[in-house]
Structure 1
Amino acid sequence: MSTPIEAETDVLIVGAGISGIGAAYHLQQRAPGKSYQILEARADVGGTWDLFRYPGIRSDSDMFTFGFNFRPWMGGKVFADGPSIKQYITDTANEAGIMEKIRFDTRVVRAEWNSETARWTVEAEVGETRERKRFSANFLILCSGYYRYERGYMPDFPGMESFEGDIIHPQLWDESYDYAGKRVVIIGSGATAVTLVPAMAQTAGHVAMLQRSPTYIANRPSRDAMADWMRKYLPRRLAYVLIRAKLIGLGMFFFNLARRFPGFVKKGVLKKVREELGPEFDVEKHFSPSYNPWDQRFCLAPDGDFFAALRSGTASIHTDHIERFDQSGIRLKSGEHLDADLIIPATGLDMMVGGGIELVVDGDTVDPSEHVTYRGMMLSGVPNCALAFGYTNASWTLKIDLTHERICRLLNHMDEKGYDYCVPVPPEGLETQDLLDFSSGYVRRAIHTLPRQGTKAPWKTYQNYLMDMLTIRFGPLEDGHMRFETAKAEAGARPAVAEAAE
């Protein structure tokens, strides 16, 4: 006999990070007749901001657009630290009554759709014993992020086993670890490395950032003078709307400028770096990437903290290739040796669609790479299932909020018309391309495992907030690409619910 259903609900949300809490809030406000529950693998809310604990952890997007559109960010700093962001998510969940709808220590491993009953049956491992429990829902929202939580990407560097110091990946950082006075080598040039350097340089003996190739790093003030003025003299909600509009507009302008005139933008960025570091610093070698601006995400240095660490001598930057690790550090192909007590491979993430959950639709296992994304939020041929996937060129939450609004519109529309489920169906011969037009290593390593996108709407994922806002909020739901259906089985044919859940 199969395990009885632990709980049955209208909507099941997987993940209690910023995406999952946002989904719950939108459901409460825009589809209040729908019951929901959140399944969270960790013991607390926050997702990324509960997982990552490395020194200096912060957002690299401004908090006025990274924060929810329904709850103004009230912190003063534009770029908040990790604990502040987690607290913001926690406060949002508590104030909205969402916390009581979350089942913690519940890791979803499988979800199976049955068109006969129009239901998802979700299997999860609960607690330390990993007891298998089943849950049932009509609609599934996967808010489990886009990377593997258990580990980060770790290259197999030659000689790693011979190093006598410590090697710690940022994703597995232990907050009790004492690095005061130690010689630290950080491998990488992305946002994590650029965050770690100034934070650790305050107490470490010396911090060396070792990069194979440069990245674009821009100085941004940690406070927005115009935002501070607006919040002082305007009503809170109006100020928040205006600040968000300003920052969204500036972000879109800069992104499009970089794509249209990459040489001009690159020249301007490098000019600013020279002003930070002075004429003696080899800016071309260490800060001039081979790719164009916004072919990868920009790294930000709030108040120029990264450049200040380099100027002070507490940190250094090295552009070279690793020959091998040895007992005392890393030998580079140039012949230089970096002495180290601690090596931090800030080498990125392992991308994973939907947290690695096994999806099954009417008996067939879903391989995401064989499917196409619909409006950047659903997979072709997969009914009543949405993916929370944010922007790559702007704040993650901007797209997440829009996605949840669209989900609520779909749910309400199906209720009004008497439908039980909806499924995106691509046209025959749809031309496709990579889901992400990004050259970052973590994207290129995983691109073959990701869904595809089309070359035109609604199958193309536009990285454009205004375009998405108009189509997601106001575009027709029955657009000729979304098929709506009713369940064939009788309501009484659903699996029994366990008495403990009643």
Structure 2
Amino acid sequence: MPTKTDAIDVLIVGAGLSGIDAAYRLTERNPDLKYTIVEQRDQLGGTWDLFRYPGVRSDSDIFTLSFPWYPWKGTRTVAEGHEIREYLEDTAQHFGIDKHIDFGVKVLAADFDTSTDLWTVETEVGGKKRTYTSRFLYVCAGYYRYDRGYEPDFPGIDKFGGQVVHPQFWPEDLDYTGKKVVVIGSGATAVTLIPSMADDVEKITMLQRSPTYMLALPWSDPMTKIVQKVLPGTAAHRVISTRNALATFSFYQYCRLFPKLSRRTLRAMAKAQLPKGYPVDVDFKPKYEPWDQRLCVIPAGDLYTAIRKGKAEVVTDQIDSFDETGILLKSGKHLDADIIVTATGLELVAMGGAEVSIDGAEQKPGDKYAYRGYMLNDVPNLAWAVGYTNASWTLRVDLTAQAVAKLIALMREKGYTHAYPTAEGEVLEDAPLLELDSGYVQRAQGNIPKAARTQPWVVRHNLVLDAYDARRYDLTEAMVFGTADQGNGKGKKKEAKASA
């Protein structure tokens, strides 16, 4: 049986944006903390290392996506994928975080032993099993599967004589020059691919079942450059990121409070940038309200530009079947293709897909409630980093990292060896963890944790209220703290409420 002297203080799963932020925040508050990051890929970066398709970039502004404690040095509002990856590598090296990363480690399962208050984490490295023991487990693996994306059951796709590509696994040697390409989907990936490939292909078509709201934002803005000239790096970054975060939040609130007016606004923006007489209400007028699903950011309106120049087209229709030369649509139209890109979305999964258990009893994430969005009810010493759906991912995961750092500091100060949130038998009214009607979210219902309608189980996608509460809420609310006596191996346990 592992002992407390064998254990590291915190095992962080994932060396992407969330994991790097977690490592910094944990040691900022707990300088002597011993931690290890395990990353299943061979280099850090997470999403920004995985996705290598043409044009991959941030889908929120880079000043709020980057870390508040390590200023972004660029001037553009939207950053390309390789720039983000390089920034993460630089950050990890600058703060020595890279020295704590074990690469090529896939987490399979994690079991919490209540007699010792330790996690035993089973992993696989190069086909061999490796075990980690830690006092606290912090899952920063995002909320989607890395090993596969969502692919609908397309009738007859095996008959297609060309190449089928999923953006999550883009071939490095894919040659699409002079080819006819069809991209299936209308989300962030599709609207990135279309303008990025348009100049090199013979023809590129975005085939969508239904339209998505698009929001054109500039690659850069004059105010950012002025602030960077006037203020030193950290102060400039703080001003710019705060302004951008509030602007995004304000537009989101506008869309939710005034859906009819915001629909007209987004339609007018699209119409102004598309060719005269373009059927806007066919291809760019969704049936749902703005922000029922994510808005797609298109830098400088590049998708509209590609359409306006005749480099790309959008077809709104449904697939009937595939044949050797392309796709037959329900309308009877046929789309010829040499390459078909299935930008059909992600497959969501909690805890990086690892099985979580307590004393051998499986704890299914879909049965759990999310405490303040980052812990699970009645699961000790476990945190999960999940970002916002309506703002930059980092804005929430950084709040989470600071909260976890405070919790661990309190546990160490008081001598507690475990802590977990509990509803104490209260019947909670279910609410969605992610406030979106998107297909990938709906498909994941039952597999990811739930929120509730009452605090502290409410998961708000409201960065202003969350930032306000983060400085004021009682860290011990609905929390149980305790110790396990490992001396006789029988797990004598003491539990109590605590005050911060």
The two structures have a TM-score, normalised by structure 1, of 0.95
Residues 270-419 of structure 1 mapped to structure 2, 5 A cutoff: 270-419=267-416
Q: Which residue of 2 aligns with 1:12?
A: 11
Query: 1:47-92 CA deviation, whole Å, 9 max, x = no partner?
Result: 1111111111111100010001111111222111111111111100
Q: Which residue of 2 aligns with 1:483?
A: 480
Q: Are the counterparts in 2 of residues 147 and 353 from structure 1 also a CA contact under 8 Å?
A: yes
* Alpha-carbon distance in structure 2 between the residues aligned to 1:71 and 1:162: 51
Q: Which amino acid letter does the alignment assign opposite residue 221 of structure 2? A: D
**Are 2:49 and 1:67 aligned?**
no
Q: Are the counterparts in 2 of residues 210 and 318 from structure 1 also a CA contact under 8 Å?
A: yes
Residues 113-262 of structure 1 mapped to structure 2, 5 A cutoff: 113-127=112-126, 130-262=127-259
* SS at structure 2 position matched to 1:399: helix
Q: Are the counterparts in 2 of residues 7 and 135 from structure 1 also a CA contact under 8 Å?
A: no
* Alpha-carbon distance in structure 2 between the residues aligned to 1:8 and 1:120: 9
Query: 1:294-320 CA deviation, whole Å, 9 max, x = no partner?
Result: 111110110111111001111100000
Distance 1:4 1:115, change over 3 A: closer
* Alpha-carbon distance in structure 1 between the residues aligned to 2:204 and 2:419: 53
Distance 1:425 1:176, change over 3 A: same
Deviation at 1:235, TM superposition (A): 1.6
Deviation at 1:242, TM superposition (A): 0.9
**Sequence identity (%):** 46
Q: Are the counterparts in 2 of residues 153 and 347 from structure 1 also a CA contact under 8 Å?
A: yes
Q: Are the counterparts in 2 of residues 215 and 298 from structure 1 also a CA contact under 8 Å?
A: yes
Q: Which residue of 2 aligns with 1:500?
A: none
Deviation at 1:466, TM superposition (A): 2.0
* Alpha-carbon distance in structure 1 between the residues aligned to 2:484 and 2:463: 35
* SS at structure 2 position matched to 1:19: helix
Q: Are the counterparts in 2 of residues 3 and 133 from structure 1 also a CA contact under 8 Å?
A: no
Distance 1:493 1:173, change over 3 A: farther
Q: Which residue of 2 aligns with 1:439?
A: 437
Q: Which residue of 2 aligns with 1:473?
A: 471
* Alpha-carbon distance in structure 2 between the residues aligned to 1:139 and 1:164: 51
* SS at structure 1 position matched to 2:484: coil
Distance 1:38 1:483, change over 3 A: same
Unaligned runs of 5+ in 2: 492-500
Q: Are the counterparts in 2 of residues 115 and 488 from structure 1 also a CA contact under 8 Å?
A: no
Deviation at 1:3, TM superposition (A): 9.9
Distance 1:249 1:362, change over 3 A: same
* Alpha-carbon distance in structure 2 between the residues aligned to 1:135 and 1:363: 16
* SS at structure 1 position matched to 2:446: helix
* Alpha-carbon distance in structure 2 between the residues aligned to 1:354 and 1:6: 26
Q: Which residue of 1 aligns with 2:81?
A: 82
Deviation at 1:491, TM superposition (A): 9.1
Q: Are the counterparts in 1 of residues 428 and 454 from structure 2 also a CA contact under 8 Å?
A: no
Q: Which residue of 2 aligns with 1:498?
A: none
Q: Which amino acid letter does the alignment assign opposite residue 290 of structure 1? A: K
Q: Which amino acid letter does the alignment assign opposite residue 227 of structure 1? A: T
* Alpha-carbon distance in structure 2 between the residues aligned to 1:110 and 1:473: 34
Deviation at 1:4, TM superposition (A): 11
Q: Which amino acid letter does the alignment assign opposite residue 110 of structure 2? A: A
Deviation at 1:266, TM superposition (A): 0.8
* SS at structure 1 position matched to 2:471: helix
What is the number of residues matched between the two proteins? Answer: 490
The two structures have a TM-score, normalised by structure 2, of 0.96
Query: 1:233-283 CA deviation, whole Å, 9 max, x = no partner?
Result: 112111111111111111111111111101101101110111101331000
Deviation at 1:361, TM superposition (A): 1.0
Q: Which amino acid letter does the alignment assign opposite residue 140 of structure 1? A: L
* Alpha-carbon distance in structure 2 between the residues aligned to 1:8 and 1:486: 16
Q: Which residue of 2 aligns with 1:461?
A: 459
* SS at structure 2 position matched to 1:293: coil
* Alpha-carbon distance in structure 1 between the residues aligned to 2:185 and 2:6: 45
Deviation at 1:382, TM superposition (A): 0.6
* Alpha-carbon distance in structure 2 between the residues aligned to 1:87 and 1:195: 20
Deviation at 1:14, TM superposition (A): 0.4
* SS at structure 1 position matched to 2:7: strand
Deviation at 1:38, TM superposition (A): 0.5
* Alpha-carbon distance in structure 2 between the residues aligned to 1:115 and 1:47: 32
Q: Are the counterparts in 2 of residues 330 and 339 from structure 1 also a CA contact under 8 Å?
A: yes
Q: Which amino acid letter does the alignment assign opposite residue 21 of structure 2? A: G
User: RMSD between aligned alpha carbons?
Assistant: 1.6
Q: Are the counterparts in 2 of residues 402 and 473 from structure 1 also a CA contact under 8 Å?
A: no
Q: Are the counterparts in 2 of residues 405 and 473 from structure 1 also a CA contact under 8 Å?
A: no
Q: Are the counterparts in 1 of residues 3 and 116 from structure 2 also a CA contact under 8 Å?
A: no
* Alpha-carbon distance in structure 1 between the residues aligned to 2:376 and 2:72: 32
Q: Which residue of 2 aligns with 1:48?
A: 47
* SS at structure 2 position matched to 1:122: strand
Q: Which amino acid letter does the alignment assign opposite residue 416 of structure 2? A: Y
* Alpha-carbon distance in structure 2 between the residues aligned to 1:75 and 1:49: 17
Deviation at 1:146, TM superposition (A): 0.5
Unaligned runs of 5+ in 1: 495-502
Distance 1:184 1:3, change over 3 A: farther
Q: Which amino acid letter does the alignment assign opposite residue 15 of structure 2? A: A
